[in-house]
Amino acid sequence: MAATDFKDYYAILGVSKTATQDEIKQAFRKLARKYHPDVNPNNKQAEARFKEVSEAYEVVSDVDKRKKYDQFGQYWKQAGEGFPGGGVGADMGGFDFSQYGNFDEFINELLGRFGGAAPRGGGGRQSYSYRPPTGATSGFGGFNDYGFQDPGAGTSQDSEAIITLTFAEAFNGVQKRFSLGNETIDVRIPSGAKPGTRLRVRGKGQINPMTQQRGDLYLKVELQPHSFFQMEGDNLVCEVAITPDEATLGASIDVPTPDGSVNVKLPAGVRSGQSLRLRGKGWPLAKGGRGDQLVKVAIAPPKDLSQQEREYYEKIRAIRTYNPRSHLQQVKL
């Protein structure tokens, strides 16, 4: 690249070199709306300007690319890459890079002159690698005013979609089929997916119109409500009603679990709202094994009493010595 081919990306966007990412994004949005081909049909000059603005934004909106651009100027793309033809016959601003295999070697020797690295070819040579940054989306969706999307600040555009599963599907795992435009894909949902779980499907996202590279599709899991089970973190939670006599005297009750009913012993004096833990009976864990199932106890007094039941309850009330509200007598402001 000759010096005259150098593009001042900051000037193209109309921002200073010290502009923040928000200022750069705002400037790009304004210019993209102005010059986008959808707004300027059959206008070659506007189309060229739009591409120029998009190119500038792709570089200065990316932290790593911007750092290289600020440091190496017109040669920022060569950082971390070899020079075609070893630099022979190329106009590199008057500097001959042909003695270096790639730009890293040039930087290593330059740093070595100032004590930053061992001399080129030395046994103790350090490696200073300038890797191209990974692709990233722009971080702000589409331009709804005109119905077109951001041309892309990085090399890929990821998509996200909601996938709703039943408790049984999420617990056991399931294979789902999706239609992406004219494309149909099968996705295997592993056992143990929870609400909020994000599943990555590589190469099935949106296509970046500037780079033609395709991002990834992320499926965010939601669970349909279940009539008995709920999720709380890694634990499976349920609520079981018990009678007042079971709470007072203790009892053995059957409780549903994903593996079928199990017998649970209620301790005498169990309180309403208290939880009993069934270890290893809960949700599948990503690291293997199972979480716990928490059984919340709810004391349910009978609404319809027989005459004999009512008589016995009245006798219990008459002889009862326990007062669960006795401590309230000491409560004051």
CATH number at residue 285: 2.60.260.20
DSSP string, 34-82: HH-TTTSTT-HHHHHHHHHHHHHHHHHTSHHHHHHHHHHGGGGGGTTSB
Asked if 213 and 242 sit in the same domain, the reply is no
Decide if 9 is inside a domain. Answer: yes
> Chain-centre distance of CA 92, in angstroms?
42
Within 10 Å of residue 100's Cβ, how many Cβ atoms?
18
Give the model confidence (pLDDT) of 140-169 as tens digits: 333 333 223 344 444 458 888 888 999 999
Residue 237, pLDDT above cutoff 90? yes
Decide if 198 is inside a domain. Answer: yes
HEC-encoded secondary structure of 246-313: HHHHCEEEEECCCCCCEEEEECCCCCCCCEEEECCCCCECCCCCECCEEEEEEECCCCCCCHHHHHHH
Residue 232, pLDDT above cutoff 70? yes
Residue 100, pLDDT above cutoff 80? no
CATH number at residue 47: 1.10.287.110
Asked if 107 and 15 sit in the same domain, the reply is yes
Asked if 219 and 235 sit in the same domain, the reply is no
How many structural domains is the chain composed of?
3
Asked if 290 and 191 sit in the same domain, the reply is no
SS3 content of the chain, % helix, strand, coil (to 5): 30, 25, 45
Asked if 234 and 166 sit in the same domain, the reply is no
Asked if 234 and 218 sit in the same domain, the reply is no
**CA distance linking residue 38 with residue 35, whole number of Å:** 8
Domain boundary among 89, 113, 137: 113
Decide if 132 is inside a domain. Answer: no
Asked if 96 and 11 sit in the same domain, the reply is yes
Report helix, strand or coil for 327. Answer: helix
Decide if 333 is inside a domain. Answer: no
Decide if 323 is inside a domain. Answer: no
Asked if 272 and 299 sit in the same domain, the reply is yes
Asked if 178 and 265 sit in the same domain, the reply is no
pTM: 0.51
Asked if 100 and 196 sit in the same domain, the reply is no
Decide if 140 is inside a domain. Answer: no
Q: 148-149 and 142-143 as β-strands: parallel, antiparallel, unpaired? A: antiparallel
Of 260, 194, 201, 206, nearest in space to 230 by CA: 194
Structure-model confidence comparison of residues 291 and 155, the more confident one? 291
Decide if 151 is inside a domain. Answer: no
Asked if 247 and 265 sit in the same domain, the reply is yes
**CA distance linking residue 262 with residue 295, whole number of Å:** 12
Domain boundary among 92, 113, 134: 113
Decide if 304 is inside a domain. Answer: yes
Report helix, strand or coil for 217. Answer: strand
Q: Domain span at residue 51?
A: 3-113
**CA distance linking residue 3 with residue 263, whole number of Å:** 81
Domain boundary among 206, 223, 240: 223
Residue 276, pLDDT above cutoff 90? yes
49, burial (CB in 10 Å: exposed 0-12, middle 13-18, buried 19+): middle
Tell me the chain's radius of gyration from C-alpha atoms: 34
Give the model confidence (pLDDT) of 42-83 as tens digits: 888 888 888 888 888 888 888 888 888 887 776 677 664 544
279 φ/ψ angles, rounded to the nearest 5 degrees: -70, 135
